[in-house]
Amino acid sequence: MPNIKGYVSFVLHAHLPFIHHPENETYLEERWLYEAISETYIPLLTNFKKLEEEKVDFRITMSITPPLLNMLDNKLLKKRYIKYLNAHIELAKKEIERTKDNKKENELAHYYFNRYSNDLHLFKDVYNCNLINQFKYFQDIGKLEIITCGATHGYFPILYINEKTIRAQIAVGVQTYEKYFGRKPRGIWLPECGYVPEADKYLKEFGIEYIITESHGILYADPTPIYGTFAPIVSPEGVIAFGRDIESSRQVWSSINGYPGDFNYREFYRDIGYDAPYEYIKPYIASNGARVDTGIKYYRITGKNCEKDYYNPTWAMDSIEKQAGHFFDSRVNQINHLSPLTDNPPIILCPYDAELYGHWWYEGPDWIYILFKKIYYDKCNFKLITPSEYIDKYPSMQVCTPCRSSWGANGYSEVWLNFTNDYAHKHLHVAGDEMVELANKFYNETDNIKIRALNQCARELLLAQSSDWLFIITNGTMVDYAKKRIKDHIGRFNKLYNSLMQNTIDKHFIDFLKDLEEKDCIFPEIDYKIYA
């Protein structure tokens, strides 16, 4: 039995904003979900299953956000995902024909055909179109700890000036978790790791034990945590905070020499959506004819500013093993260095965006599989652990107030509050105040239509608050879409608010309400009184 001197805790944050357009199938943004299912969620589940079958004891934590849970549970989106897969299988079949004179491309075309066919088989026949239950299974057997998140990923350091709005974000996040996983969450991923001490009392109110913060959320805490990020701290309100480890984060995240940049790995930016003849690829790209990614990519990163070579899965596997070994050795050394300095065995917390694994870093889920196997079989000085297990083992921790912080660029609120998106905050704040006003005014409402309208107000407000829209505007990618989403949800909220306040409930209003309930159908069980 090896001598365990420390622990490593992997946390993957799985999140996508709520995108659901029953009115129209042409929204490219809806594809984010399908790509994430095929490239991240199914590969992760497949690797978890392999580890289980090989009797490898592993631990991993995932936050699966409420909007993602709602989308994974949505009938229409499930149907459209199957359609997406069928289109990809059809395209891969055509690719087998088109590339028959190029051996390397042809092998890859076969690879994609098999991969998408397998996804379809897994999704329909094995998972019964229910990915949530698959994740739940791994939680129930004790390998995976699932934590919750703010209802719609609203960014607390900006919303908290009306505290009831962050209370609602937490409450609905916890309720959604309970609905799908049949128990209360012990931890929460604060949206964008955005921490404000004002949220602690609400986290406690809804039974949250721990949060994840960016490194300086711990390092700049008051008083200074004597063990740095290598031990959790507890706030005066009783919320436990784990901080991101810098070294292990850099090894994966770094855009300069992080693992995903290995030359043998699949090149993200070369896709047949851009490379294939236009007329041929047209049925599989955007409905307006714009070339977009299809997910079929034939090249590896190869090098910087050079001609791209074909992707070779065997070579990629070599790099996976090499890098898993490097990560493993780095943690062994890190823990050897740290363990004499801390009272309890140190914890190295490694949080990442789940979608980095598979979507961006195509080989990421396989890297996790190889790494976890290595940790289990190679006798080493550390074990994998979840934050909850660590708390149970080592419940004594320093009392400190974490620092207000986020994991966005430069560590505070610049990503979600800058010259490009600052216009939105006033509207979000006013709508938040008005929602509280509605909840108090109509607290004892008995009219069913009004209750439905009030609940829809809560949904529209929550959807408007999603940090994704602000992020996208800053990032300059799908700006029009993000701006429209803010306008639509605020506009819909205002319209409902006015009708309720003026008591102008007529047939038109009911039609309007029905339409919104169908489009913005997130959180079907929401209760607006949460804002009172």
Partner 1 sequence: MPKKTKEKVEKVKEKSTTKPNKAKIASTKTAKKVATTKKVAAKKSVVKKENTKKESAKVTKKSEKVTKTPTKVASKKATSKNTKLTTTVAKTKKASTKKTTRKTTRKPASKKLVVASEYYDLPNSYEQTIVKILAQTPTILFVYWEISSKKANALKEKYGENFFEQTSPYLLVINKDKNYQFEVEINDYANSWYLHIPDSNCNYEVILMRKNKNSQVIAENSIAIMSSNDLETPNDHILFEKLGKTVFFKNVKNGTLTEKNIANFAFINNIGRIYNIYNLYKEIYKNELNGDELGVKLSSSQFSSTFK
Site for partner 1 in 12-51 (CB under 8 A): 16-17, 32, 35-36
Give CA–CA dist 229/350, Å, rounded. Answer: 11
Q: Tell me the residue type at 150.
A: G
Q: Is 183 in the site for partner 1 (CB under 8 A)?
A: no
Choice from 6, 66, 157, 345 touching partner 1 (CB under 8 A): 157
> What angle is formed at CA 31 by the lines to CA 171 and CA 251, rounded to 5 degrees?
75
Q: Is 429 in the site for partner 1 (CB under 8 A)?
A: yes
How would you label 128-145 residue by residue, b for 16+ Cβ within 10 Å and e otherwise?
Answer: eeebbebbbbbbeeebbb
What are residue 349's phi and psi, to 5 degrees?
Answer: -95, 125
**466, 492 contact by CB (below 8 A):** no
Q: Which listed range, 54-62, 95-103, 374-382, 469-477, lies at the site for partner 1 (CB under 8 A)?
A: 469-477
Choice from 491, 517, 521, 527 touching partner 1 (CB under 8 A): 491
- If the CB atoms of residues 48 and 362 are measured against partner 1, the closer one turns out to be 362
Tokens of 157: 């350091």
Q: Which listed range, 113-121, 182-190, 199-207, 488-496, lies at the site for partner 1 (CB under 8 A)?
A: 488-496
- If the CB atoms of residues 105 and 355 are measured against partner 1, the closer one turns out to be 355
- If the CB atoms of residues 58 and 382 are measured against partner 1, the closer one turns out to be 382
Give CA–CA dist 7/332, Å, rounded. Answer: 10
Give CA–CA dist 399/238, Å, rounded. Answer: 9
Give CA–CA dist 21/61, Å, rounded. Answer: 31
Total residues contacting partner 1 (rule CB under 8 A)?
Answer: 108
Give the bridge partners for 351, in sequence order. Answer: 11
CA 219 to each of CA 148, 224, 231, 263, 405: distance values in angstroms, whole numbers, following the listed order: 24, 7, 11, 35, 11
Residue with tokens 């631990």: 59
Choice from 418, 443, 447, 449 touching partner 1 (CB under 8 A): 418
Q: Per CB under 8 A, which of residues 357..376 are in contact with partner 1?
A: 359-360
- If the CB atoms of residues 322 and 427 are measured against partner 1, the closer one turns out to be 427
Choice from 168, 391, 453, 462 touching partner 1 (CB under 8 A): 391
Residue 498, helix vs strand vs coil = helix
Q: Shortest distance, CB of residue 406 to partner 1, whole angstroms?
A: 9
What are residue 336's phi and psi, to 5 degrees?
Answer: -60, -40
If one counts every other C-beta atom within 10 angstroms of the C-beta of residue 259, the result is 21
Q: Is 301 in the site for partner 1 (CB under 8 A)?
A: no
- If the CB atoms of residues 152 and 215 are measured against partner 1, the closer one turns out to be 215
Q: Is 353 in the site for partner 1 (CB under 8 A)?
A: yes
Q: Per CB under 8 A, which of residues 69..128 are in contact with partner 1?
A: none
Tokens of 367: 């890297």
Q: Shortest distance, CB of residue 461 to partner 1, whole angstroms?
A: 14
Q: Per CB under 8 A, which of residues 193..252 are in contact with partner 1?
A: 209, 214-216, 219-224, 226-228, 230, 234, 238, 240, 246-247, 249-250
Q: Which listed range, 83-91, 299-307, 368-376, 486-494, lies at the site for partner 1 (CB under 8 A)?
A: 486-494
Q: Is 349 in the site for partner 1 (CB under 8 A)?
A: no
Q: Which helix (H) or strand (E) holds 60?
A: strand 60-64
Q: Is 417 in the site for partner 1 (CB under 8 A)?
A: yes
Q: Per CB under 8 A, which of residues 500..519 are in contact with partner 1?
A: 501-504, 506-509, 511-512, 515
- If the CB atoms of residues 46 and 405 are measured against partner 1, the closer one turns out to be 405
> What angle is formed at CA 390 by the lines to CA 193 and CA 140, rounded to 5 degrees?
85
Give CA–CA dist 527/140, Å, rounded. Answer: 28
- If the CB atoms of residues 66 and 194 are measured against partner 1, the closer one turns out to be 194
